[in-house]
Amino acid sequence: MVLIPITQIKFTMKLYKIFFLFALALITSCSSDDDSTPVNELDGIIKVKEFTNDTHIIELYTSTGTTQQGYNEISLRIKDKTTNNYIQNATIEWMPMMHMTMMNHSCPYSTVEKETDKETLYKGYIVFQMPQNESEYWDLKIDYSINETNYTVTDVIDVPATEKRVVSSFMGTDNVRYIVALIDPKNPKVALNDMTVGVYKMENMMNFPVVNNYTLKIDPRMPSMGNHGSPNNLDLTQSASDEFYHGKVSLTMTGYWKINLQLLNASNEVLKGEVVTETTESSSIFFEIEF
Tell me if 222 contacts Cu ion by CB under 5 A: yes
Binding Cu ion by CB under 5 A: which of 171, 206, 225, 266? 225
Q: How far is the CB of 291 from another protein (least distance, A)?
A: 7
List the one residue out of 264, 195, 265 whose CA is nearest residue 274.
Answer: 264
**CB-wise, 57 or 222, nearer to another protein?**
222
Tell me if 185 contacts another protein by CB under 8 A: no
Could you give the string, one character per residue 52-71, with x where binding to another protein holds by CB under 8 A and - elsewhere? --------------------
Q: Could you say which of another protein, Cu ion, none residue 3 binds, taking C-beta under 5 to 8 angstroms by partner kind?
A: another protein
In the Cβ-directed half-sphere of 55, how many Cα atoms lie within 13 Å? 11
List the one residue out of 268, 252, 262 whose CA is nearest residue 287.
Answer: 262
Beta carbons of 257 and 221 less than 8 angstroms apart: yes
Binding another protein by CB under 8 A: which of 17, 81, 186, 189? 189
Distance CA 278, CA 287 (A): 20
Q: How far is CA 13 from the centre of its chain?
A: 33
For residue 242, give the amino acid letter: D
Tell me if 5 contacts another protein by CB under 8 A: yes
List the one residue out of 273, 234, 231 whose CA is nearest residue 252.
Answer: 231
Tell me if 282 contacts another protein by CB under 8 A: no
How long, in residues, is the chain? Answer: 291
Binding another protein by CB under 8 A: which of 191, 205, 206, 266? 191
Beta carbons of 271 and 178 less than 8 angstroms apart: yes
Cα four-point dihedral sign 241, 179, 131, 288: positive
Rule CB under 8 A: which of 211-240 touch another protein? Answer: 222, 224-226, 228-232
Q: How far is the CB of 182 from another protein (least distance, A)?
A: 18
Q: Could you say which of another protein, Cu ion, none residue 27 binds, taking C-beta under 5 to 8 angstroms by partner kind?
A: none
Q: Is 100 exposed, middle or buried (0-12, 13-18, 19+ CB in 10 A)?
A: middle
Tell me if 15 contacts another protein by CB under 8 A: no
**CB-wise, 12 or 32, nearer to another protein?**
12
Binding another protein by CB under 8 A: which of 188, 256, 264, 282? 256
Beta carbons of 246 and 195 less than 8 angstroms apart: yes
Q: Which residues lie near Cu ion (CB under 5 A)? A: 222, 225, 253
Interface with another protein by CB under 8 A: which residues?
Answer: 1, 3, 5-7, 189-192, 222, 224-226, 228-232, 250, 252-256, 290-291
